[in-house]
Amino acid sequence: MFSLNRAQIVGNLTRDPEMRYTPNGQSVCSFGVATNRRWKDKDGNQQEQTEFHNIVAWGKLAEISSQYLKKGNKVYIEGRLQTRSWEGQDGNKRNRTEIVTENIIFLTPKGATSSVSPDENGKIEEFPPEEKTKTQEAQETPKQEKPKTKAPDKKEETKEADDGEEINLDEIPF
Q: Kindly report the CATH number that applies to the domain delimited by 7-110.
A: 2.40.50.140
The pLDDT tens digits of the residues spanning 56-84 come to 999 999 999 999 999 999 999 999 999 99
Q: How far is CA 113 from CA 50, 70, 73, 116, 142, in A?
A: 22, 10, 9, 8, 29
Between strands 74-87 and 93-106, the pairing is: antiparallel
Asked whether the beta carbons of 124 and 117 are under 8 A apart, the reply is: yes
Q: How far is CA 83 from CA 54, 95, 99, 118, in A?
A: 11, 7, 9, 36
Residues 19, 66: Cα–Cα separation, whole Å? 6
Q: What percent of the chain lies above the pLDDT cut of 70?
A: 64
Q: What is the pTM of this model?
A: 0.63
Every domain of the chain and the residues it spans: 7-110
Confidence (pLDDT) at 155: 46
The pLDDT tens digits of the residues spanning 82-122 come to 999 999 899 999 999 999 999 999 999 877 755 444 445 44
Mean local confidence (pLDDT), 24-50: 95
- DSSP letter at 142 equals P
Confidence (pLDDT) at 161: 46
Asked whether the beta carbons of 29 and 56 are under 8 A apart, the reply is: yes
Confidence (pLDDT) at 1: 87
